[in-house]
Amino acid sequence: MDGLVGVVVAPDNGELSALSSGAKPMVSLLGKPLLRHYMDGLRAIGASRFIVASNVSISLSDAEVIDYGGDYWATLVKVSEIVPRGSTVVASSMDIYVPREAYETLMNVHLSMGYDVTVLVAAVEDTSGGFRVNTSSDGKVLSLVRGGGPGYLHLGLTAIEQDALVKLAGGAELGSLRVGVAHWGGWFTRVNTPWSLLEIVRNTLANLTSSSISTRARISPRASMEGPVIIDDDAVLDHNCTIRGPVYVGRGVYVGTGALIRNHTAIEEGAVIGANAEVTESLIEPRATIGRGAFIGASLIGHGVVVEPGVVTLTTTMGRKIGAIVGEGARVGANSVLKPGSLVKRGEHVAPLTHYG
């Protein structure tokens, strides 16, 4: 779509710092920084120009970066000063993650109904921590208020015409514009804790229907792959390892002899999975090492972590299956056991044979 400007409001907030010392927008997920997933959603609906509003230093060759002052709507007003007349702005907040289909739903409603402003909403039992959208019987937005209780939650995705942005910048009330809602009935995730990254991985991989295997990957003829998988460039799958999808194996990942990688796991760039290790329903961040014979289940393993041989993460189900979080640069000693919900702090060293948590 000509004249569509994509805006990502990308504050460095939430509790992802337990996993990584890097800024939230740049945490690696399924082969790219989290920020890139939002930009890809905007690109899928035709955005040809990108503006990223952040309170941390980010260097991007294909986007303008502006300071984020802490307010989503004030940021959009600021954008009105730098986008051309007649353009449409679609803004996405990194506080909530939605799949690409949600972007398409928003734009279909915005264009077909001719609204000045269209907000994406979902009906939820608890709108706390976000904005609740109050609407009239004909779907017109009456107000946006701080959340609490059941109602329509604003999913951080908004389409707005440039002239409407100018009016808001001039002091116009939202109620003076034609403001409508687009209803989203699919999945979404509030990106506020490391566990939310596992939800994104699980839901994204669950929608895989076919495999994508790079011609630059080196795969032993004795390796086994079942179900949909993504195998990226320069990944190495050694003898007798098994990849049981849906699974993502990133660039330069090494999966050792006899290792088992299964359902809803993402292994990021340069990670090493040792011989006979098992990883399931987990996110392994770049350049982490999982030692021989370890078991990693429903867990998040941070950048550069070393998990020595024989380590086991225990799991439990508390609304969702949870294992452990091991922060960036930590080391877990051989044959240790991490109890469900354990948090190994960034840079921490856990002695061998420890029952942790």
| Model pLDDT for residues 231-282, shown as the tens digit of each residue | 999 999 999 999 999 999 999 999 999 999 999 999 999 999 999 999 999 9
Q: What is the 8-class DSSP label of residue 61?
A: S
Give the strand pairing for 151-161 and 88-93. Answer: antiparallel
- The CA-based angle 244-248-252, given to 5 degrees, is 115
Residue 23 structure tokens: 């800024």
pLDDT at 166 over 80: yes
The model's confidence at residue 142, banded by pLDDT at 50, 70 and 90, is confident
The model's confidence at residue 228, banded by pLDDT at 50, 70 and 90, is very high
Give me the residue spans of the domains in the chain. 4-191, 212-356
Burial class (CB in 10 A: 0-12, 13-18, 19+), 276: middle
Which residues are 205's β-sheet partners?
A: none
Closest to 312 measured CA to CA, from 337, 291, 330: 337
pLDDT at 2 over 70: no
Closest to 76 measured CA to CA, from 66, 91, 54, 61: 91
Across the range 155-171, mean pLDDT stands at: 92
Percentage of residues in the chain having pLDDT higher than 90: 80
At 95-109, the pLDDT tens digits run 999 999 999 999 999
**Start-end of H helices in 123-234:** 162-169, 194-206
Strands (DSSP E) along 69-163, which ranges?
88-93, 96-97, 117-124, 131-135, 141-146, 151-161
pLDDT at 288 over 90: yes
In sequence order, what are the residues at sequence separation of 6 or more whose Cβ sits closer than 8 angstroms to the Cβ of residue 40?
A: 32, 100
pLDDT at 1 over 60: no
Q: Which of 129-133, 222-226, 295-299 has the lowest mean pLDDT?
A: 129-133
Q: Are 144 and 152 in contact (CB under 8 A)?
A: no
What's the length of the chain? 357
Domain 4-191 sits in CATH at 3.90.550.10
Domain 212-356 sits in CATH at 2.160.10.10
Q: What is the pLDDT of residue 231?
A: 98
Report the chain's mean pLDDT, rounded to a whole number: 94
Q: Which of 131-135, 142-146, 270-274, 323-327 has the lowest mean pLDDT?
A: 142-146
In sequence order, what are the residues at sequence separation of 6 or more whose Cβ sits closer than 8 angstroms to the Cβ of residue 316?
A: 322, 340, 341
